[in-house]
Protein backbone atom coordinates (compact mmCIF):
# COMPACT_ATOMS: atom_id res chain seq x y z
CA UNK A 1 0.00 0.00 0.00
CA UNK A 2 2.87 2.38 0.63
CA UNK A 3 5.31 4.02 -1.75
CA UNK A 4 9.07 3.84 -1.46
CA UNK A 5 9.11 6.55 1.21
CA UNK A 6 6.49 4.77 3.27
CA UNK A 7 3.56 7.04 2.37
CA UNK A 8 0.14 5.72 1.44
CA UNK A 9 -0.57 5.87 -2.30
CA UNK A 10 -3.88 5.94 -4.14
CA UNK A 11 -2.99 2.95 -6.29
CA UNK A 12 -1.95 0.98 -3.23
CA UNK A 13 -5.15 1.95 -1.42
CA UNK A 14 -7.33 0.69 -4.29
CA UNK A 15 -5.31 -2.48 -4.76
CA UNK A 16 -5.45 -3.26 -1.05
CA UNK A 17 -9.22 -2.94 -0.82
CA UNK A 18 -9.76 -5.07 -3.92
CA UNK A 19 -7.52 -7.91 -2.67
CA UNK A 20 -9.00 -10.83 -0.75
CA UNK A 21 -7.52 -12.40 2.37
CA UNK A 22 -6.18 -15.52 0.64
CA UNK A 23 -5.02 -18.81 2.15
CA UNK A 24 -3.19 -21.35 0.03
CA UNK A 25 0.07 -23.05 -0.82
CA UNK A 26 3.17 -20.92 -1.29
CA UNK A 27 5.68 -21.67 -4.09
CA UNK A 28 8.01 -23.27 -1.52
CA UNK A 29 5.32 -25.84 -0.63
CA UNK A 30 4.25 -24.35 2.70
CA UNK A 31 0.68 -23.31 3.42
CA UNK A 32 -0.37 -19.96 4.81
CA UNK A 33 -1.88 -16.55 4.10
CA UNK A 34 -0.75 -14.46 1.14
CA UNK A 35 0.99 -11.20 2.04
CA UNK A 36 0.40 -9.48 -1.31
CA UNK A 37 -1.87 -9.63 -4.34
CA UNK A 38 0.96 -11.12 -6.42
CA UNK A 39 1.55 -13.81 -3.83
CA UNK A 40 -2.18 -14.64 -3.75
CA UNK A 41 -2.16 -15.01 -7.53
CA UNK A 42 0.76 -17.44 -7.37
CA UNK A 43 -1.23 -19.74 -5.07
CA UNK A 44 -3.40 -20.78 -7.99
CA UNK A 45 -6.79 -22.45 -8.18
CA UNK A 46 -6.68 -24.25 -4.82
CA UNK A 47 -6.33 -21.03 -2.81
CA UNK A 48 -9.35 -19.94 -0.79
CA UNK A 49 -10.62 -16.41 -0.17
CA UNK A 50 -11.06 -16.57 3.58
CA UNK A 51 -12.84 -13.23 3.94
CA UNK A 52 -15.43 -14.02 1.25
CA UNK A 53 -16.15 -17.40 2.82
CA UNK A 54 -16.25 -15.93 6.33
CA UNK A 55 -18.71 -13.15 5.56
CA UNK A 56 -20.95 -15.19 3.23
CA UNK A 57 -21.25 -18.05 5.73
CA UNK A 58 -21.73 -15.66 8.67
CA UNK A 59 -24.50 -13.79 6.84
CA UNK A 60 -26.12 -17.07 5.81
CA UNK A 61 -26.12 -18.24 9.42
CA UNK A 62 -27.53 -14.88 10.51
CA UNK A 63 -30.38 -15.33 8.04
CA UNK A 64 -31.12 -18.85 9.29
CA UNK A 65 -30.98 -17.93 12.98
CA UNK A 66 -33.15 -14.83 12.67
CA UNK A 67 -35.84 -16.47 10.54
CA UNK A 68 -35.80 -19.59 12.71
CA UNK A 69 -36.31 -17.52 15.84
CA UNK A 70 -39.33 -15.81 14.28
CA UNK A 71 -40.72 -19.16 13.16
CA UNK A 72 -40.43 -20.55 16.71
CA UNK A 73 -42.03 -17.49 18.31
CA UNK A 74 -44.73 -17.04 15.68
CA UNK A 75 -47.89 -15.30 16.92
CA UNK A 76 -51.17 -15.46 15.06
CA UNK A 77 -52.69 -12.67 17.15
CA UNK A 78 -51.08 -9.30 17.75
CA UNK A 79 -47.80 -9.98 15.91
CA UNK A 80 -44.96 -7.54 16.40
CA UNK A 81 -43.60 -5.25 13.71
CA UNK A 82 -40.55 -7.47 13.22
CA UNK A 83 -42.72 -10.54 12.67
CA UNK A 84 -44.87 -8.62 10.18
CA UNK A 85 -41.71 -7.59 8.30
CA UNK A 86 -40.49 -11.19 8.13
CA UNK A 87 -43.92 -12.40 7.03
CA UNK A 88 -43.91 -9.80 4.25
CA UNK A 89 -40.60 -11.19 2.98
CA UNK A 90 -42.07 -14.70 3.00
CA UNK A 91 -45.11 -13.46 1.11
CA UNK A 92 -42.92 -11.58 -1.34
CA UNK A 93 -40.98 -14.75 -2.19
CA UNK A 94 -44.22 -16.73 -2.54
CA UNK A 95 -45.79 -14.09 -4.81
CA UNK A 96 -42.64 -13.99 -6.95
CA UNK A 97 -42.80 -17.76 -7.33
CA UNK A 98 -46.52 -17.68 -8.20
CA UNK A 99 -46.03 -14.98 -10.82
CA UNK A 100 -43.03 -16.52 -12.61
CA UNK A 101 -43.08 -20.26 -12.05
CA UNK A 102 -45.03 -22.40 -14.50
CA UNK A 103 -48.50 -23.13 -13.07
CA UNK A 104 -48.55 -26.61 -14.65
CA UNK A 105 -45.80 -27.92 -12.39
CA UNK A 106 -45.93 -28.43 -8.64
CA UNK A 107 -42.74 -27.96 -6.67
CA UNK A 108 -42.92 -26.93 -3.02
CA UNK A 109 -39.19 -26.15 -2.92
CA UNK A 110 -39.24 -23.22 -5.36
CA UNK A 111 -40.58 -20.62 -2.90
CA UNK A 112 -38.08 -21.59 -0.15
CA UNK A 113 -35.27 -21.49 -2.71
CA UNK A 114 -36.42 -18.04 -3.85
CA UNK A 115 -36.60 -16.82 -0.24
CA UNK A 116 -33.12 -18.13 0.57
CA UNK A 117 -31.56 -16.68 -2.57
CA UNK A 118 -33.15 -13.26 -2.13
CA UNK A 119 -32.38 -12.77 1.57
CA UNK A 120 -28.87 -14.21 1.41
CA UNK A 121 -27.83 -12.14 -1.62
CA UNK A 122 -29.50 -9.07 -0.08
CA UNK A 123 -27.51 -9.44 3.15
CA UNK A 124 -24.25 -9.87 1.24
CA UNK A 125 -25.05 -6.82 -0.90
CA UNK A 126 -25.88 -4.72 2.17
CA UNK A 127 -22.27 -5.07 3.30
CA UNK A 128 -21.46 -2.68 0.46
CA UNK A 129 -23.05 0.15 2.47
CA UNK A 130 -20.63 -0.28 5.38
CA UNK A 131 -17.95 2.46 5.06
CA UNK A 132 -15.07 0.95 3.16
CA UNK A 133 -12.35 1.49 5.80
CA UNK A 134 -14.12 0.57 9.00
CA UNK A 135 -14.11 -3.23 9.00
CA UNK A 136 -10.67 -3.66 7.30
CA UNK A 137 -9.20 -1.25 9.85
CA UNK A 138 -10.84 -3.18 12.69
CA UNK A 139 -9.41 -6.42 11.27
CA UNK A 140 -5.95 -4.84 11.11
CA UNK A 141 -6.17 -3.75 14.76
CA UNK A 142 -7.17 -7.27 15.82
CA UNK A 143 -4.25 -8.58 13.75
CA UNK A 144 -1.85 -6.56 15.87
CA UNK A 145 -1.19 -3.57 13.61
CA UNK A 146 -0.59 -0.32 15.50
CA UNK A 147 -2.86 2.67 15.10
CA UNK A 148 0.05 4.89 14.06
CA UNK A 149 1.09 2.41 11.35
CA UNK A 150 -2.45 2.22 9.98
CA UNK A 151 -2.72 6.03 9.96
CA UNK A 152 0.55 6.54 8.08
CA UNK A 153 0.79 3.66 5.61
CA UNK A 154 -2.72 2.16 5.74
CA UNK A 155 -3.81 -1.25 7.00
CA UNK A 156 -1.80 -4.19 5.70
CA UNK A 157 -4.34 -6.83 6.69
CA UNK A 158 -6.55 -7.80 3.77
CA UNK A 159 -10.29 -7.88 4.46
CA UNK A 160 -12.82 -7.70 1.63
CA UNK A 161 -16.21 -7.60 3.33
CA UNK A 162 -18.65 -7.70 0.39
CA UNK A 163 -18.89 -11.36 -0.72
CA UNK A 164 -20.76 -10.52 -3.92
CA UNK A 165 -17.75 -8.55 -5.20
CA UNK A 166 -15.92 -11.88 -5.39
CA UNK A 167 -16.72 -13.82 -8.60
CA UNK A 168 -15.96 -17.06 -6.76
CA UNK A 169 -19.01 -16.45 -4.55
CA UNK A 170 -21.42 -15.27 -7.25
CA UNK A 171 -20.40 -17.96 -9.74
CA UNK A 172 -20.52 -20.55 -6.97
CA UNK A 173 -24.13 -19.62 -6.23
CA UNK A 174 -24.91 -19.59 -9.95
CA UNK A 175 -23.36 -23.05 -10.30
CA UNK A 176 -25.70 -24.30 -7.56
CA UNK A 177 -28.65 -22.94 -9.55
CA UNK A 178 -27.26 -24.64 -12.68
CA UNK A 179 -27.10 -27.99 -10.87
CA UNK A 180 -30.75 -27.56 -9.88
CA UNK A 181 -31.66 -26.70 -13.48
CA UNK A 182 -30.09 -29.91 -14.78
CA UNK A 183 -31.51 -31.97 -11.90
CA UNK A 184 -35.10 -30.84 -12.39
CA UNK A 185 -34.80 -31.04 -16.19
CA UNK A 186 -33.86 -34.73 -15.91
CA UNK A 187 -36.33 -35.41 -13.07
CA UNK A 188 -39.31 -33.89 -14.87
CA UNK A 189 -38.55 -34.88 -18.47
CA UNK A 190 -36.26 -37.85 -18.01
CA UNK A 191 -32.70 -38.08 -19.30
CA UNK A 192 -34.00 -38.83 -22.81
CA UNK A 193 -36.38 -35.87 -22.83
CA UNK A 194 -33.66 -33.52 -21.61
CA UNK A 195 -31.23 -34.70 -24.29
CA UNK A 196 -33.93 -34.44 -26.96
CA UNK A 197 -34.49 -30.79 -26.07
CA UNK A 198 -30.78 -30.15 -26.46
CA UNK A 199 -30.51 -32.04 -29.75
CA UNK A 200 -33.80 -31.41 -31.57
CA UNK A 201 -34.69 -27.81 -30.61
CA UNK A 202 -35.24 -25.37 -32.19
CA UNK A 203 -34.72 -26.56 -35.79
CA UNK A 204 -35.62 -30.24 -35.70
CA UNK A 205 -33.62 -33.50 -36.04
CA UNK A 206 -32.05 -32.63 -39.41
CA UNK A 207 -29.95 -29.86 -37.84
CA UNK A 208 -28.97 -31.84 -34.75
CA UNK A 209 -25.32 -30.58 -34.50
CA UNK A 210 -26.44 -26.97 -34.87
CA UNK A 211 -29.25 -27.44 -32.34
CA UNK A 212 -26.88 -29.07 -29.88
CA UNK A 213 -24.39 -26.22 -30.20
CA UNK A 214 -27.03 -23.52 -29.71
CA UNK A 215 -28.79 -25.20 -26.80
CA UNK A 216 -25.55 -26.08 -25.00
CA UNK A 217 -24.35 -22.49 -25.27
CA UNK A 218 -27.75 -21.23 -24.06
CA UNK A 219 -27.68 -23.67 -21.13
CA UNK A 220 -24.16 -22.71 -20.03
CA UNK A 221 -24.92 -19.01 -20.48
CA UNK A 222 -27.51 -19.15 -17.69
CA UNK A 223 -25.12 -19.62 -14.75
CA UNK A 224 -22.46 -17.39 -16.32
CA UNK A 225 -24.84 -14.47 -16.84
CA UNK A 226 -26.42 -15.03 -13.42
CA UNK A 227 -23.12 -14.92 -11.56
CA UNK A 228 -21.31 -12.29 -13.62
CA UNK A 229 -24.24 -9.84 -13.56
CA UNK A 230 -24.31 -9.81 -9.76
CA UNK A 231 -20.51 -9.63 -9.49
CA UNK A 232 -20.17 -6.82 -12.04
CA UNK A 233 -22.76 -4.54 -10.46
CA UNK A 234 -21.49 -4.95 -6.90
CA UNK A 235 -17.81 -4.75 -7.88
CA UNK A 236 -18.45 -1.48 -9.71
CA UNK A 237 -20.31 -0.08 -6.70
CA UNK A 238 -17.49 -1.12 -4.37
CA UNK A 239 -14.94 0.57 -6.63
CA UNK A 240 -16.95 3.80 -6.53
CA UNK A 241 -17.01 3.64 -2.73
CA UNK A 242 -13.22 3.27 -2.70
CA UNK A 243 -12.80 6.28 -5.01
CA UNK A 244 -15.10 8.35 -2.79
CA UNK A 245 -13.10 7.32 0.27
CA UNK A 246 -9.88 8.41 -1.49
CA UNK A 247 -11.39 11.74 -2.54
CA UNK A 248 -12.76 12.76 0.83
CA UNK A 249 -10.15 11.29 3.17
CA UNK A 250 -6.85 12.52 1.71
CA UNK A 251 -4.40 12.83 4.55
CA UNK A 252 -6.86 11.54 7.15
CA UNK A 253 -5.47 8.28 8.52
CA UNK A 254 -8.05 5.53 8.34
CA UNK A 255 -10.49 7.58 6.33
CA UNK A 256 -13.31 8.30 8.77
CA UNK A 257 -14.31 11.38 6.77
CA UNK A 258 -14.30 9.24 3.64
CA UNK A 259 -16.54 6.77 5.44
CA UNK A 260 -19.14 9.43 6.14
CA UNK A 261 -18.83 10.79 2.60
CA UNK A 262 -19.77 7.37 1.28
CA UNK A 263 -23.15 7.72 2.97
CA UNK A 264 -24.17 10.17 0.25
CA UNK A 265 -23.43 7.60 -2.44
CA UNK A 266 -25.16 4.94 -0.34
CA UNK A 267 -28.44 6.84 -0.63
CA UNK A 268 -28.33 6.36 -4.40
CA UNK A 269 -26.84 2.89 -4.16
CA UNK A 270 -29.53 1.66 -1.77
CA UNK A 271 -31.77 0.91 -4.75
CA UNK A 272 -29.15 -1.25 -6.47
CA UNK A 273 -28.68 -3.54 -3.48
CA UNK A 274 -32.24 -5.00 -3.29
CA UNK A 275 -32.63 -4.77 -7.07
CA UNK A 276 -29.69 -7.10 -7.74
CA UNK A 277 -30.93 -9.54 -5.11
CA UNK A 278 -34.39 -9.44 -6.72
CA UNK A 279 -32.98 -10.03 -10.21
CA UNK A 280 -30.92 -12.99 -9.00
CA UNK A 281 -34.01 -14.48 -7.33
CA UNK A 282 -36.31 -13.92 -10.32
CA UNK A 283 -33.83 -15.39 -12.82
CA UNK A 284 -33.44 -18.42 -10.54
CA UNK A 285 -37.23 -18.92 -10.53
CA UNK A 286 -37.47 -18.44 -14.31
CA UNK A 287 -34.63 -20.87 -15.04
CA UNK A 288 -36.14 -23.52 -12.75
CA UNK A 289 -39.53 -22.91 -14.34
CA UNK A 290 -38.03 -23.58 -17.78
CA UNK A 291 -36.56 -26.80 -16.38
CA UNK A 292 -40.11 -27.96 -15.52
CA UNK A 293 -41.60 -27.10 -18.93
CA UNK A 294 -41.94 -29.60 -21.77
CA UNK A 295 -41.09 -28.46 -25.29
Q: What is the mean pLDDT of residues 32-45?
A: 88
Could you tell me if 291 and 101 are in contact, meaning their C-beta atoms sit under 8 angstroms apart? no
Active site residue 225: yes
3-class secondary structure, 18: coil
Residue 270, CA distances (Å) to 58, 143, 163, 262, 264 in order: 22, 31, 17, 12, 10
Q: Report whether pLDDT(266) > 70.
A: no
- By the 10 Å C-beta count (0-12 exposed, 13-18 middle, 19+ buried), 54 is classed as middle
Asked if the peptide bond before residue 277 counts as cis, ω within 30 degrees of 0, the response is: no
As separate numbers, helices (DSSP H) first and strands (DSSP E) second, the chain gives 11, 3
The pLDDT, as a whole number, for residue 8 is: 59
With a pLDDT cut of 90, the percent of the chain lying above it is 51
The pLDDT, as a whole number, for residue 20 is: 93
Report the half-sphere exposure of 248 (CA within 13 A, side-chain side): 20
Instruction: Say how far apart CA 183 and CA 191 lie, in whole Å.
Output: 10
Q: Which of 100, 168, 176, 229 is catalytic?
A: 229
Q: Report whether pLDDT(246) > 90.
A: no
Q: Report whether pLDDT(254) > 50.
A: no
> 44: alpha, beta or left, given left = phi > 0 and alpha = psi -120 to 50?
left
The pLDDT, as a whole number, for residue 99 is: 93
Q: What is the pTM of this model?
A: 0.87
- Beta bridge partners, 2, equal 8
pLDDT tens-digit series, residues 165-209:
999 999 999 999 999 999 999 999 999 999 998 888 878 888 888
With a pLDDT cut of 70, the percent of the chain lying above it is 85
The pLDDT, as a whole number, for residue 251 is: 46
Q: Which of 52, 96, 233, 249 is catalytic?
A: 233
Report the half-sphere exposure of 280 (CA within 13 A, side-chain side): 36
Q: Which of 3, 73, 146, 225 is catalytic?
A: 225
Active site residue 229: yes
- By the 10 Å C-beta count (0-12 exposed, 13-18 middle, 19+ buried), 114 is classed as buried
The pLDDT, as a whole number, for residue 161 is: 92
Q: 152 falls in which pLDDT band (50, 70, 90)? A: low
Instruction: Say how far apart CA 127 and CA 15 lie, in whole Å.
Output: 19
Active site residue 233: yes
Q: What is the mean pLDDT of residues 61-84?
A: 88
In DSSP notation, 198-266 reads HHHTTT-GGGHHHHHHHHHHHHHHHHHHHHHHHHHHHHHHHHHHHHHHHHH-TT-TT-HHHHHHHHHHH
Q: 81 falls in which pLDDT band (50, 70, 90)? A: confident
- Beta bridge partners, 23, equal 33, 48
Report the chain's mean pLDDT, rounded to a whole number.
85
Q: Report whether pLDDT(48) > 60.
A: yes
Task: Determine the angle formed by the axes of helices 50-72 and 167-200, rounding to 10 degrees.
Answer: 80
Q: What is the mean pLDDT of residues 111-119?
A: 96
Q: Range with the lowest mean pLDDT among 2-6, 9-13, 130-134?
A: 2-6
Q: Report whether pLDDT(12) > 70.
A: yes
Edge-to-edge strands, sheet with 22-25: 31-33, 22-25, 48-49
Instruction: Say how far apart CA 95 and CA 111 lie, in whole Å.
Output: 9
Q: 268 falls in which pLDDT band (50, 70, 90)? A: low
Report the half-sphere exposure of 184 (CA within 13 A, side-chain side): 22
Amino acid sequence: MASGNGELTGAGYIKHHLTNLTFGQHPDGTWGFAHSAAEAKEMGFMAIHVDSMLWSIALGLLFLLVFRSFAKSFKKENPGKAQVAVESIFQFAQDSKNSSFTPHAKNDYIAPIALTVFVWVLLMNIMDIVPIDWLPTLAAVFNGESWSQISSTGAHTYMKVVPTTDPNITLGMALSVFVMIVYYSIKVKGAGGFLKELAFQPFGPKLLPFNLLLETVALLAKPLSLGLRLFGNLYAAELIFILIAMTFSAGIGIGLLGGFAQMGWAIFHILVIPLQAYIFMMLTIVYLSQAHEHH
